[in-house]
Amino acid sequence: MAGGLVYNVGTKIKWIVAWTNDGKVCTTIKKCDESVTWSKIITQLQPHDSTHTYQGYTSKVNVEMNTNGSLTLEAKLLV
């Protein structure tokens, strides 16, 4: 895994996004009081995009490889 972030959305949910340098991503949404298990998230990485819906929220993440080898990551949390 190259990177990951956890963003608390108010006091109800946390939004998790993870990515690798070879263009895989994972997103999930959990209750704020649930712990994040990075080893589990690593097993859920998928090429190019990931979507997860939980309690009326939808997370959409897309990663693209640029011609210079860098990544462009787009992440959205929709209500």
**Contact between 49 and 60 (Cβ < 8 Å):** yes
Give me the residue spans of the domains in the chain.
3-78
CA atoms within 13 A on the CB side of 49: 6
Q: CA–CA separation, 15 vs 29, rounded Å?
A: 5
pLDDT at residue 40 greater than cutoff 90: yes
The backbone torsions φ and ψ at residue 34, rounded to the nearest 5 degrees and listed phi first, read -85, 140
pLDDT per position as a tens digit, 18-27 = 999 999 999 9
**pLDDT band at residue 50, thresholds of 50, 70 and 90?**
very high
pLDDT at 1 over 90: no
